[in-house]
Structure 1
Amino acid sequence: TTLVSAFLVSFKFTRSALEATWKYVMVCTVGICLALLGTMILYYAQISALGAEKALSWLWLTEHAELLNPSLTKLAFLFIFIGYGTKIGMAPMHTWLPDAYSEAPSLTSGLLSGALCTCAIYVLLRNIVVVIPTVGVEFISTLCLAFAALTIAVAVPFVVVQRDIKRMLAYSSMENIGLMIAGIGVFSQLSIGATLVHMFNHALIKFVLFYIAGTIVQEYQTKNMMRIHGMIGDVPHTATFWLLGIIGILGMPPLGLFFSKFYILYSLFLSGHYLLGIVIIVLLAGILIGILYHALRMLCDKAKRKPVGDLLENADTPFLAALLLGSVIIGAGIGEIPYLEKLLAQAVRIVGGGQF
C-alpha cells in the first residue's frame, strides 16, 4: 500500500510533490520495518512457548496467548505499535502525513485518510487481540492514551495557523486518529464500539471533505485559504457541502462523528481518566475554533477573488449526500439496526478477547 500510493502522492511531479513522496516512502518504510521486526519477535515468542505448529496463526496465538513470554511479547508489541503508529500518522511519527495529504490529488488524499490509516488501525487492533492476555490491559492502555494525547496536542497549533486547505484537513485527521487511539486505550466495551463506529464515519466524512477541497482548489486555483472568500455567494453548491463536511468532521450533531466522539470522551470519564478527558476536550475545542475560523472565513467573508465557476456537478451531489447521510444513519442508528448492532457487538467481543 505504501509503494502503490507513493505513485499517487507524486502524481503532479512537482518539486513539493516529489519531496512529499520521498518523505512518505522513507518514514512509512521505516515504520513498516519496525512493525515487521515486532512480528518477528512475536514469532520467536511463539516458537519458544508453543513450537512451530500453526506459526503466526491469529486464532492459534489468541487461544494460547497466555503461554507466551510476557517480556518478549511486550517488546514485540512496542515495535508493532510504533511501526503501525507511523503508518497511522500518530505523533511524533506523523511527519509524512501533512505533506502527503497536501500534495496528493484530492481523491487520493481521501483514500489515504479514510482507507489507508483505517487499515493500519485495523492491523494494530488485531495485534492487540493477540498480546493483551499476555501483557495486560494496563500496559496497552498507558501506551495508547499517551500517544493519543500527544497526537491531538501536536495537531492543535498547526490547525490554528494553517493556510493550506488540505494540510488543515490532514491535521484534522490527526485529531481523529488521536481520538480513535484514545478509545482503544480506554479498552472498554463502550470505547471499543465507539472507536469502530468512529473509524467508519471518519472515512465517509473525510472523503467528502477532501473531494470538496479538491473542487475548491480547482474553482479558485489556489490551496491558500486566505485567498478564498465569499463561497456562499459565488459557489453555493460547493459551499453547502463544505459546511456540512466541516460540521461533520468537528463532531457536531446530527452527523455520525458526534455520537462516536461523545462516547469515546464519555468512556474516558467512566474509566476514571478525568484529567486526560478534560485535557482532550480543551484540545478539541482549540481544533474546533481553528477549523471553524478558517471555514467560515472562506464561506462568509467578502469575495476578493472570483472563482472559475461552481464545478460541483449534479452527478456529484447525490453521491456526496449519500456519504453524509450514511454517516448520520451509522452514527445515530447503529444500535437500532438489528444486523449492524449484532455485527458491531461481535467485533467488540473479538477485539476485547474475552475481556468483556
Structure 2
Amino acid sequence: MQIVPFEIAIPDHAVDDLRHRVRATRWAPVTPSPAWQQGADGAWLRELAAYWADHFDWRAAERKLNQQPQFIADVDGQRVHFVYRRGEGIAPYPLVITHGWPGSFFEFHALLDQLCDPAAFGADSADAFDVVVPSLPGFAFSPAAARPGTSAFQVADLWVSLMRGLGYERFGAQGGDLGAGVSIALAARHPYAVAGIHLNFLPGTYEPAIGAAQQSLTSAEEKFLRDRNDWVALEGGYAHMHSTKPQTVAASLNDSPVGLAAWIGEKFRAWSDCDGEIERVFSKDELLTNISLYWHTQSIGSSMQMYWENRLQPMRFTDGQRVAPPVGFAHFPKELSHPPRSWLERTFDVTQWTDMPSGGHFAAMEKPDLLAAEIRRFFRPLRQHA
C-alpha cells in the first residue's frame, strides 16, 4: 500500500472566490414563521455569512488542521485521506475512528489529544492510543468512491486494508453517525481483526432480528420505534433527499456557499446539546472550518452518496445472527435517537453502556473529555488481546 504525507493548501483564488460568492448571495425572502421553525434562521445565517466573508481566517484554520499529521493512501484502488496520530505511552492501542455527516475528520481534533496523550489530561498514559481517522470516500480529501456500491460494509473492508497497511492486524473501532455504521460493519465482517467497537450512535438502518411476532418487542423497544418514526417524519427530510435524489440537491449546495452553510449549520444546532444557542457549543470558526472543508473540496454531493448506498445495503440482521466483538455504547442525552439497551443486545454483546450526563450528536466536539474517558474505559480490558 502506497502512503504519502499530505498537507492542506487551498489556492488563494479559491479562498477569494468563496468570499465573493458569499457577498453576492441572493437571499431568500423571509417567511412569517418563528426563528428556526422551518429550518435555518435567516438572521443567524446572515450573521454567519458576514463573518465568513469578512472575518473568518481560512489560513489560520488551515494551519490548525495541518498540525495533525495527514496522509493519502491508495487502499485497494481507493485513495483515502487520513489523520494518523501516534500515542504517547508504553504500548498505545490501535484505534480507527470514523466520522459521519455533516462532520469530517476535523470533528476529532480535541478528542485526538485526549486519546493520544491521556497523561497530559491527568489520565493514565497506559490508556494511550495510536489513532487513525480516515475521511470517508467522498468526504473532504478522500475522492468519491471509485465504483458504485460503496456502503458502510465496503468502507469497513477498506479500513481493514488501511490498518493492515499501517501494521495493525488487530485493532479497535469507534464511531458515531455514519461512522457508527462503519464500525458495526467492521465488527460484523471482520471479527478476526476487530477486538471491539465503541459507539455513540446507532444507525437508523440497523434492524435486529425480532422474530415473526411483534409481541416479542418490549415496551421500551416499541416506544423507541415510535419515537424514531416520528423523528424521521419531522426531521429526516435531509436524509430522505440524500438517500433518494442526492444529485438534485447537490447541484444547489455545491454552487452556493450560504446554501451549504444553511444545510449543514442547521444540523449542528438541532443535533447538539446547545438549547437552541448554537454558539454555546460551537464557535463560528469551528462551524466555518467544517463547512469550508466541504466547500473547498466540492464534496457535499459525494458525501451524500453513502446515504444512497446504505439504503440499498441496510444493516439488517437475521434470526440467530450475532456480532462477536464486544460493544460499548455511550448514550448522550441530546442524541437523535435513544435506543434501549435491549435493542442492541439482540445482536451485540454489550459490555459497557453509559448514560452520559450531557452532550449530543457531535460528541467528539461537544464533550471530548467525556467521550475519551468512555473510550479508554471500554478498551482497557481489550488491550491485552491486541
**TM-score after normalising by structure 2:** 0.27
Question: Between Structure 1 and Structure 2, which shows a larger proportion of strand residues?
Answer: 2
**TM-score after normalising by structure 1:** 0.28
Question: Between Structure 1 and Structure 2, which shows a larger proportion of helix residues?
Answer: 1
